[in-house]
Every structure is written in C-alpha cells, then in structure tokens.
Chains A and B, each alone.
Chain A
C-alpha cells in the first residue's frame, strides 16, 4: 500500500463511481452528511430474502467519500444484509488501499461516511 492517497483505484472510483443513483420503492434508505467537507449522500437499497439485491448512492462529496461509497456499495451488493454492518475502520482503509498514517484525522470522516450511511440504513430498517 502506498503512502499516497490518490492512487489509481481511488481516482477511478471517484471519476466513475459504481452504483450511483436512487432506487425507486427502496426497501431501505438513509441520508448522511459530513459537514466538514460538505459531503452528503442518500443511500437506497432493495432487500431480497435478507440479501441486498441492489444498492445505490446519490449525492455530492470529495474524492475520498465518493470512492468509498462506490467501493463499499459494490462490496455489500448481493450479500446478506448482516455483512453490511460492523464494518471496521481497518476494513475500509484496506478496501481503499489507504495506509492509516497517510490520512489526516479530519479526512477519516470522509472515508467512513459510506460505511456510516449504509449502517444507518440497515439499522433503521431493523
């Protein structure tokens, strides 16, 4: 893992995010914001027999928050809803290829916003 934040993977997910959009008649939804960066996302998901059959995010954000949302929604898609919660900080950093000491503490909120949004969405429904 490199010490630089803006590696190809993050840039790709920032410039062409996966799972952008909104699901009509979603089974679950949640809105999260990070006032420091002005990141704001709404997550929607469809549930099929305890599996997240579809998940989208819509909103504005910095590169880290968008990349995180793109990667995380991709990861939890087609998986049991229980897998979408209790995702740790280490898991997210790992997923994004970021070394912990490469991140200023203030950017952690950006990196974890998607995790918080998806967790909020699932917990709301529970």
Chain B
C-alpha cells in the first residue's frame, strides 16, 4: 500500500515511483533539498538565487544552507504588478549560481511563474532548480519533465489529502548521489557499530516508521483528483480567482495584490481595517479567509503592507461564493470606514 502510494503520486506528477520521497509536508521536503543537496554541493564561491515572492519554507532553509556553506543568497525582484522580473532574474543568474529556488505559484500574489524558463536559464548556468509546488500541484497539471525541475516540493493537505503528508520529487540521478537528510531505521540496508549502508531510493530519504495512514490518504486524494482532472481543477479555480480579483479590485476602499493573470487566490486589504479584523468579520458571515503575512514576510515588506487578507479557491468553491465574498467585503468597507 505504502509503496504503491509512491507510484500513484509519481504518476500524478510524471515521475518514477522511486523519485518520490514522502515527507510530512512541503516544508520538510524543502529542508531535505537544502540539507541533502545544497549543503553538500555549494561552496563559498557559489550563489543561491531565490525570488522576492518566496515562502518562509523556501527562504529559511536556504538561509541556513548559505550560512553553512558560505555561499551568497540573492533575490530576484518582482515587478509592480506582482509578476517575476525575468530581466532581473537573468541579470542575477551567472555561472556562480549553484541553485535557483522559486515558487511555481505565489501563495500571496497568485502569480504563476514561468518555471520551465527559469529551469532552462538555471541549467544553462550549470545550476539546479528547486521548485516550491505547494500552491501549484494541487491547482494545475504539473509534470516534472515539462518543468524540467530538479526538485519539486508539495503538501498533501492542500490537495484534499491528510495533514502530515508532503512530497519531495528529485531527479533520480540527483537523489542517487545525495546523502540522506534524516537517518535511522528503514533508510539503511546494513548497520555495524561504526558504519551504515544506505537503502535504495526512495527509502534512503525516509527514515523511521512512515506515515502509512497519511500516504494512503494522499494516494486516495491523487486518485480523486485524477478522476476530476487537473485541467478542470485549474480552469475552475482560475476562473473563480480571476473573477474575485476583478470584483474586489472594483470596490472603493479595497486594494488587491498581484497580477490579473493568476491562479485561484486573491489577497486584498480594506482601508482602515486590519486584515485580522477583516478575517474575523468575514468569518462571522460564513466566509473563511486567512489574514496575515502568509509566511512571506519579505514579500509583505516589499509590498509595504504588513498583512493582507487572502481568499483562496478550490474545486469545491462556487461563483456564488465569489458573489458572497464581494458582498461581505463591501460591507466590511462600510463598517470600518
């Protein structure tokens, strides 16, 4: 069951079953990439290039990798409209770049980044690319071969799976050459007092008793999504997200963030109201949004807004709910003005 779950998740993203490492979430997956790949391959002459819209779970492990290896951490700028400044990316990419880290879809701005272009650019300079797919894999069809991602991380709980499940995909050749992250039982074949031999992929990276129940749940979620079709999920959530963006943008006293061309979420602020108050207010009206920095404080700093409220849509949301959101936000504008 557990092995099979690897295969089903692999199929979902176009990977082999043994290129799929189960973790407890996307954060752990990104840490695995940082510890097992970055720490071992980067040196003081190297650079890590991230973008200005990364999640803390990409940033903080890479800060550690930079600190420990002496490499330099750099950030590519975002344009005013919330898209990635590709000119700046190319300006900051060089043969010194050892690793590029980028989010596929921004969990704050809704921006969908040109991952394949970024991967090609990274590879041209001899760098690898680690992609944060936490917001993309649940929302749109993702094929690791099309993206040519060296690593891809995502979580189960955003894609109808249980909490406590996550995945790191890595190209087989990379994973085969990497040292483990977590060590102990199950990731070994033979242990003596002073030595241990690593198990095959993907077990080398799955130490200890696995979250079997979680894996079964994740595989079930994948099966369900395959049935619905990720193309359909994408169309549905994008439509809702874009419509919500347009409606909110049209309300006086509301500011929206990110480009019109977006995935299924929209972050916004209401003049004179703290995003947590907006969240509580909407909550009272049966609408669940999240308020805060959304684990992207550097991005919040860039936007000049310490916190925003964010409405995120999934396959179970409806256009009717977009109407309700619009109505409730209009009400909030009045109440807080």
Contact = CB atoms under 8 A, between A and B. Distances in A.
> Do chains A and B interact in one complex?
yes
Interface of A: 3-6, 11, 15, 36-38, 61-64, 102, 104, 107, 110
Given A3-B284, A38-B306, A64-B277, 6 more contacts: A6-B335, A37-B276, A38-B307, A62-B277, A63-B274, A104-B283
Contacts, number: 38
Nearest to A2: B284
A3 B286 CA distance: 13
A76 B280 CA distance: 28
Contacts of B307: 37-38
Interface residues of B, number: 14
Contacts of B277: 6, 62-64
A110 B280 CA distance: 12
B335 A110 contact: no
A107 B306 contact: no
Interface string B272-285: 11101100110110
Contacts of A36: 276, 292
Contacts of B280: 5-6, 64, 104, 107
Contacts of B292: 36
Contacts of A102: 284
Interface string B117-148: 00000000000000000000000000000000
B336 A63 contact: yes
Contacts of B274: 37-38, 61-63
Contacts of B283: 104
Contacts of A63: 273-274, 277, 336
13 contacts: A3-B284, A5-B280, A5-B281, A5-B284, A6-B277, A6-B280, A38-B274, A38-B307, A61-B274, A62-B274, A63-B273, A63-B274, A110-B276
A104 B282 CA distance: 13
Contacts of A110: 276
Interface in B86-116: none
Contacts of A4: 284
B336 A11 contact: yes
B65 to A, nearest CB: 26
B307 to A, nearest CB: 6
Nearest to B337: A15
A107 B336 contact: no
A37 B278 CA distance: 12
Nearest to B291: A37
Nearest to B273: A63
Interface in B250-284: 272-274, 276-277, 280-281, 283-284
A64 B307 CA distance: 16
Q: For the complex of A and B, list the 10 residue pairs with the smallest distance between their C-beta atoms, beginning with the closest.
A: A62-B274, A63-B277, A62-B276, A37-B276, A62-B277, A38-B306, A4-B284, A5-B280, A6-B281, A6-B335
A107 B276 CA distance: 8
A38 B300 CA distance: 13
Contacts of A61: 274
B282 to A, nearest CB: 11
A11 B281 contact: no
